[in-house]
């Protein structure tokens, strides 16, 4: 895959988990961790998707190492 991966800026392809872009440990900083790879996957749609995910799955039950995070609970 090396010849097909962009280098600067590094981007990602949907349905291909590139764990080098970052992972989410699902802790207190999950939103911040999710921004690192989420913006590369979803560009300008990331924040909109986070808001939807927070409404639909507030406890982040459906997750993986690079899923869209939820907003922090206060």
Asked if the bond preceding 45 is cis, omega within 30° of 0, the reply is no
Cα(69)–Cα(58) distance, integer angstroms: 10
Choice among 16, 37, 41, 59 that is catalytic: 16
**Could you confirm whether 37 is annotated as catalytic?**
no
**3 state DSSP class of 42:** helix
Written as six digits, the tokens of 72 are: 């922090």
Residues classed as catalytic: 16
């Amino acid at each position: 895959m090396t010849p097909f991966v962009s280098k600067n800026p590094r981007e990602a392809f949907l349905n291909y988990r590139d764990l080098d872009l970052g992972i989410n440990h699902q802790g207190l900083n999950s939103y911040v961790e999710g921004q690192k790879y989420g913006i590369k996957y979803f560009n300008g749609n990331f924040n909109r998707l986070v808001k939807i995910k927070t409404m639909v799955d507030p406890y982040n039950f459906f997750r993986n190492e690079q899923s869209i995070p939820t907003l922090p609970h206060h």
